[in-house]
Amino acid sequence: MRLSRRALLAMPLAAQPAQKIDSVRAWVMPLLPAACFGTANFSGDHDPARMRWFGPFSQLAGSILVEVKTTGGLAGYGLGGGGSAAVHVIETHLKDLLLKADPANIELLWEQMYSSSIFYGRKGVAIQAISGIDLALWDLAGKAAGKPVYKLLGGATKDKVAVYLTSNNVETGVKNGIRNFKLAVASAPHEGKEGMKKTVDQVEAARKAVGADSELMIDVLCRWNVPYTLEMADRLAPSRLMFIEEPLQPDDMAGYAQLCARVQSTRIASGEHEYTRYGFENLIARKAAHILQPDITWSGGLTELRKIAALASAHQLPLIPHRGGSLYGLHLILATAHCELAESFGVGEKGNEIMEAMSPRFSNGFLYPPEKPGFGVELTDALIGKYAKRQ
């Protein structure tokens, strides 16, 4: 007999019937258009734009939504990445490990999904697919317990979390009480000194706009090389940057280690495009980051982010999750003492209703703990159908 969600939650935990997973669905659910991350229009074989066309599987253009339902009528929702490629992995492989399984065995299911996909996975699309499933399972766990997920993690270590705004429109952030800002910079080594000057001018203008007491950072999105970064760090020193994010390609561990050893004026942040505790263990061992930035929807879900957070704490490294201002990232930040900032998610962006449903309460520069069971993401079939993208 199926029980309604309300009836199930009203029952004492000991009296609730054993749950099994009886439905797993996944949809391509872009939170931002692919055009935000490059273009497929090239002038020729050597057009630099070819290196920046990220396609439909990466970033928030490649977001996926995972729904896991149980025999007791509960539904959990998780956000992942990898676009239609990740949906295919879920539907043709990972779903086999989930159906009829106990949804409470989150750690076991994670290890089984990771192990069974290891010969083609380990990083990228497969882990992004697992991330969405893992978050859906944690959402179910919170709903079954009638508690927000952060309370399952030991409770909140803070009553609110400061936002840092990722946007070049810093004036909007200032008006909304935000005191931490990150700029996207677009210069690249092939632009030479002219590109350097363009970035210096951009950062200096932002520093003037946000004031001397605000934190200012830049995101390079893997455009630079070691010599270029070293010179830019010197040129930008007067602007007192909190960090330079992802100046190099993610796999250039040796380059990141050089930067971390040599740059004195700011810190080097990385990890947005790293995966699982194994990847972050390597990043830490190589001394290749001053600040770690895992994405809970890409790097392995909450199950892995807890372990990455423990690694960061043990090595006294700040953890500032990528897009931590979503309802998914905020629960981890609330429950983790050495997480002090949440990157904006939806704040200052023209997102759709799905993004709004995944955004916590924001007021005067801060995000506040949700009190609804699970992650607090409320979705309907009608809303999903409205924004799901056909493969």
Render pLDDT for 341-382 as a digit per residue (tens, 0 to 9): 999 999 988 888 999 999 999 999 999 999 999 999 999 999
**C-beta of residue 280 within 8 angstroms of C-beta of residue 309:** no
Identity of residue 340:
E
Report the sign of the C-alpha dihedral through residues 258, 259, 264, 270, in that order. Answer: negative
| Mean pLDDT confidence for 281-300 | 98
Strand pairing partners for 329?
Answer: none
If asked whether residues 58 and 174 sit together in one domain, one would say no
If asked whether residues 121 and 162 sit together in one domain, one would say no
Among residues 119, 146, 173, the one where a domain terminates is 146
- CATH number for the domain spanning 142: value is 3.30.390.10
Q: Domain span at residue 38?
A: 5-146
If asked whether residues 212 and 345 sit together in one domain, one would say yes
If asked whether residues 245 and 356 sit together in one domain, one would say yes
Among residues 87, 118, 146, the one where a domain terminates is 146
If asked whether residues 78 and 182 sit together in one domain, one would say no
Identity of residue 290:
H
Among residues 93, 113, 146, the one where a domain terminates is 146
Asked whether residue 91 is domain-assigned, the answer is yes
**C-beta of residue 276 within 8 angstroms of C-beta of residue 298:** no
**pLDDT range class, residue 32, cuts 50, 70, 90:** confident
335 pLDDT above the threshold of 80: yes
Q: What is the pLDDT of residue 5?
A: 59
| Global pTM value | 0.94
Asked whether residue 390 is domain-assigned, the answer is no
Asked whether residue 378 is domain-assigned, the answer is no
Catalytic pick among 273, 290, 322, 331: 322
If asked whether residues 198 and 277 sit together in one domain, one would say yes
Percent of the chain topping pLDDT 70: 95
Helix (H, G, I), strand (E, B) or coil at 293: coil
pLDDT in tens, 72-118: 999 999 999 999 999 999 999 999 999 999 999 999 999 999 999 99
pLDDT in tens, 116-166: 999 999 999 999 999 999 999 999 999 999 999 999 999 999 999 999 999
Domains of the chain: total = 2
Neighbouring CB atoms inside 10 A of 242's CB total 21
If asked whether residues 268 and 347 sit together in one domain, one would say yes
Percent of the chain topping pLDDT 90: 88
CA distance 16 to 35: 47
Asked whether residue 386 is domain-assigned, the answer is no
If asked whether residues 189 and 277 sit together in one domain, one would say yes
If asked whether residues 210 and 338 sit together in one domain, one would say yes
Q: Which DSSP state fits 326?
A: S
220 pLDDT above the threshold of 50: yes
| DSSP-assigned letters across all residues of 101-159 | S-TT-HHHHHHHHHHHTTTT-SSTHHHHHHHHHHHHHHHHHHHHHTSBHHHHTT--SSS
- CATH number for the domain spanning 284: value is 3.20.20.120
If asked whether residues 117 and 179 sit together in one domain, one would say no
CA distance 270 to 289: 6
8 pLDDT above the threshold of 90: no
- Residue 322 bears catalytic tag: yes
Q: What angle do CA 13, 19, 23 make, to 5 degrees?
A: 140
If asked whether residues 187 and 167 sit together in one domain, one would say yes
Q: What is the pLDDT of residue 33?
A: 78
**C-beta of residue 311 within 8 angstroms of C-beta of residue 280:** yes
CA distance 85 to 190: 32
CA distance 379 to 134: 17
Asked whether residue 382 is domain-assigned, the answer is no
Q: What is the pLDDT of residue 377?
A: 98
Asked whether residue 267 is domain-assigned, the answer is yes
If asked whether residues 166 and 310 sit together in one domain, one would say yes
**pLDDT range class, residue 38, cuts 50, 70, 90:** confident
Asked whether residue 380 is domain-assigned, the answer is no
14 pLDDT above the threshold of 50: no
Asked whether residue 347 is domain-assigned, the answer is yes
36 pLDDT above the threshold of 80: no
